[in-house]
Structure 1
Amino acid sequence: MKTITVRASSWGSLFDCGFRWEGVHLLGIKSPSSPRALLGTAIHASTAAFDAARVTGEKLSTFDAAEHLVQTLRHPEFDVDWRGADITPREAEVTGLALHTRYCDEISPRYHYVAVELETRPLEIDCGGGVIVRLTGTLDRARIKRDAGGVGIADLKTGTAAVTSEGVAKTKGHRPQVGTYELLYEHTTGEPCTAPAEIIGLKTKGKPVAATGEIHGARELMVGNDQFPGLIQIGADMFRSGLFPPNPQSFTCNPKYCARWGACPYKDG
């Protein structure tokens, strides 16, 4: 049996460019992170600390939680390439603090969280043909919310386009990750996710903006139904064959985003 471990956050990139996904997640080909990726990590660190304190009943102010953001920006635990960046370290800190404050003071109080970045039990799915897909890890950057509809996933997303021009959080492309989170939560706790998932978007370019947007049918996208196979089954076909389709039209087909780009025979440009 061949077991393939897949992180929830990587499902979207598997179907965007399988060749790039194979390089990163199976072959371990890495590249330095961007300053905006570091900014996102810093915002997640500070807001998670704030929300975790809410769940446990501890007293942690918006101001005190912001220290996690500052320390993450100033002392990252991974390589960051600032060359040619469209943001300076000082600008990243100012933007991050503004979004952190907006989230803690305006967004977080709207939710009743029962867990933050929950550690989950591995979920192994036998996809036939000697392939097991193993979903594992923490619900990275996600919260578990409870409301009148039951429990559901609330996933925090940052980025230059995290909020649309209509003023709602961008949800496109996030269903595979959220669906995997729902599967892991149900497997770990035995409690189904019955409430719609939500994306909490924090826009990191231009005027700092925060917004939310709902996602429906994420779990079904992953496991499929009587009419259509789920993404897990489709992904298993790639794992069985060892063929990971390239996508020269992908936005990530660029040396800035793909560590495999230099040696890729399929790249366009």
Structure 2
Amino acid sequence: MSVTTIRASSWGSLFNCAYQWEFVHILGHRSPGSPRSQLGTAIHASTAAFDASRINGSGFSAFDTAELFVHTLRNPDFDVDWRGADITLAQAEATGLKLHTMYCNEISPRYDFVAIELTTKPLEIDCGNGVIVRLTGQLDRARICKSGDGVGIADVKTGGAAVSKGVAKTGSHAAQIGTYEILYEHTTGEPVTAEAHIIGLKTRGAPEAGVGEIRGAKQMMVGTEEFPGLIQIGAEMLRTGLFPPNPQSFTCSAKYCPRWSTCPYHT
């Protein structure tokens, strides 16, 4: 039997460019961290601390948890080269503090959170032909919240185009959210019945926050009698060892893809 461990956060990139995904997640090659990804990491750390304080009753303010944002931004866990970046450390700090405050004061109070970044039990899925996919990992940056419809996933996403006209972009996040829903149900035994929310925080231009909804994400992953789920399709790639390239991918460049220099599928 062949067991392949796949983190929820990587599913979307598998179908963006499987050839790139294989190089990163199977062969273990990664690009250095970028200043903008470090900005996102810092925002996630400080907003998660704020939400956790709401759950445990410690009542930290936006000002209290902003210190964690600054510390995380300035002390990355990996190499970040600010030289030649399209944003300076000072600009990133100013943008991040505005978004952190916006999130804490305007977005977080809308939700009744019950868990932050829940660590899940691994789930092994027998896909046939000797292929087992093990879904694993923390619900990275995700919040579990209760609503009138039950329990749902709320996931924070940062980026230069994370929000458009006041609404968070959701199109590229459904596979990750669907995997989160599967793992949450497997870990807790509690069904996810509410729609998922993407909480977008725009890091380029004027800081902006917005929320977008995702429905049917788990169905996309597991499929129906009429169409295969993404898990089954991904398992077929793993079984055959064939990971199709995508020369039209938005990450098909030396900036984003560590396989770009040796990839024969782009011009």
Into which bin does the TM-score normalised by the smaller protein fall?
Answer: over 0.9
| Cα RMSD after superposing both structures | 0.7
How far is 1:122 from its partner? Answer: 0.3
How far is 1:80 from its partner? Answer: 1.2
Structure 2 counterpart of 1:68: 68
How far is 1:137 from its partner? Answer: 0.9
Is 2:16 aligned against 1:46?
no
* SS class of match (1:259): coil
Note the alpha carbon deviations across 1:124-178, whole angstroms, 9 max, x for none: 10000101111101000000010110000000000000001x3200011110000
* SS class of match (2:81): coil
Cα distance between partner residues in 2 of 1:57 and 1:189:
23
* SS class of match (1:178): helix
Structure 1 counterpart of 2:204: 205
Cα distance between partner residues in 2 of 1:249 and 1:210:
29
* SS class of match (1:180): helix
Cα distance between partner residues in 2 of 1:67 and 1:76:
14
Structure 1 runs of 4+ aligned residues shifted over 3 Å read none
Cα distance between partner residues in 2 of 1:230 and 1:81:
39
Deviates more, 1:192-201 or 1:54-63: 54-63
Structure 1 counterpart of 2:235: 236
Cα distance between partner residues in 2 of 1:2 and 1:52:
38
Is 2:20 aligned against 1:20?
yes
Cα distance between partner residues in 1 of 2:76 and 2:173:
26
> What does 1:81-230 align with in structure 2 at a 5 Å threshold?
81-164=81-164, 166-230=165-229
How far is 1:266 from its partner? Answer: 1.4
How far is 1:59 from its partner? Answer: 2.3
Cα distance between partner residues in 2 of 1:238 and 1:156:
29
Segments of 5+ residues of structure 1 without an aligned counterpart are none
Cα distance between partner residues in 2 of 1:15 and 1:211:
26
Note the alpha carbon deviations across 1:214-258, whole angstroms, 9 max, x for none: 100000000000100000000000000001001111111101001
> What does 1:235-254 align with in structure 2 at a 5 Å threshold?
235-254=234-253
* SS class of match (1:255): coil
Deviates more, 1:57-66 or 1:202-211: 57-66
Identity across matched positions, percent: 69
TM-score by length of 2: 0.99
Note the alpha carbon deviations across 1:78-117, whole angstroms, 9 max, x for none: 1113232110000000000000000001100010000000
How far is 1:264 from its partner? Answer: 1.1
Structure 1 counterpart of 2:11: 11
* SS class of match (1:179): helix
Cα distance between partner residues in 2 of 1:169 and 1:30:
28
